[in-house]
Amino acid sequence: MNIEELFQEETQIPSLPNIFYQFKEAVEDPNRSFDDVAEIVSLDTGLAARLLKIVNSAFFGFPSEIETISHAISIIGIQHLNDLVLSTVVMGCFKDIPAETIDMESFWKHSIACALTSKILAEKMEIPNPERVFVAGLLHDIGRLIICSKASMETLKIFFLMNNQNLELHIAEREALGFDHADVGARLMKQWDLPKIHEEVVNYHHKPSQALSFPDECAIVHTADILVNSLELGTSGETVVQEFNEAASKRTNIQDESFRSLLVDEVKEKFDETFQLFFQPA
């Protein structure tokens, strides 16, 4: 199998919902007002309700209630709302993956935990727009879902290699397929026409030193991924915890034991509520 086979038209790779692209188009149109953007979101009452729930939660911690999408835009800004819309819709794209190939709830637990840890790290490193880093963390393993849904027989071989040779997941994928979930996820980011940050972070989250345009964000998601695996907050299928990349460790300060301990405590404190905010059961 090659990666092109996964993306042939007949394999029906999931698409983001039309509401996301309508929203994206309005956001990028300088002639559209905040009210125009809010009206598009409000066409999907479920999406609007989830977004208002998130912006009124401890995730943002605003002192007074935000009652409308227009109000939310005025408070958090259009880019932050864009990141929240993407975070909210992406989990609805994968519904029919065989349970024997991946536990979807556990997968999203891992992804949301990685997203949360990435956001906290980004805030501590004073990276602009930590919500975008949250999205990058949420998406980092998305290629796993394509492999599990479109190459289920090969997935069994991957599990066999992991368990019998004690391999990291992405290495077992390369041995079984010739590519890994990072390659597939980056291809999906391009197909979905998402910002370059997501393509690069997804592509290099196991090898952050190769990131050229977004080295800090790649280092953050790499670090968060490994830390969350060590905490066993869900799993995307990994059975071996990868070592921290040395350069990424220095960027994120994760080698500092007191810093890491404080980070772990904050992640544990905020994880359950964040998971409940973003997870959408099938």
pLDDT at 282: 60
Q: Flag whether pLDDT at 61 surpasses 80.
A: yes
pLDDT at 9: 65
> Structural domain boundaries of the chain?
3-11+94-278
Angle at 235 between CA 233 and CA 236, to 5 degrees: 145
Rounded distance between C-alpha atoms, residue 238 and residue 162, angstroms: 8
Rounded distance between C-alpha atoms, residue 58 and residue 176, angstroms: 43
Please tell me the class of the 3-11+94-278 domain. mainly alpha
Contact yes or no for 249/224 (Cβ under 8 A): no
User: Measuring CA to CA, how many Å separate 151 from each of 157, 158, 177, 182?
Assistant: 10, 10, 9, 15
pLDDT at 143: 97
Contacts of 18 (CB under 8 A, 6+ apart): none
pLDDT at 5: 85
pLDDT at 100: 84
Q: Flag whether pLDDT at 185 surpasses 90.
A: yes
Q: Flag whether pLDDT at 194 surpasses 90.
A: yes
Rounded to two decimals, what is the model's pTM?
0.95
CA 19 to chain centre: 19
pLDDT at 10: 57
Residue-wise pLDDT for 14-60, tens only, equals 899 999 999 999 999 999 988 999 999 999 999 999 999 999 999 98
Rounded distance between C-alpha atoms, residue 271 and residue 137, angstroms: 14
Mean pLDDT of the chain: 93
pLDDT at 153: 86
Q: Flag whether pLDDT at 11 surpasses 90.
A: no
Residue-wise pLDDT for 96-152, tens only, equals 787 888 999 999 999 999 999 999 999 999 999 999 999 999 999 999 999 998 888
Indicate the range of 149-158, 169-178, 243-252 predicted with least confidence.
Answer: 149-158
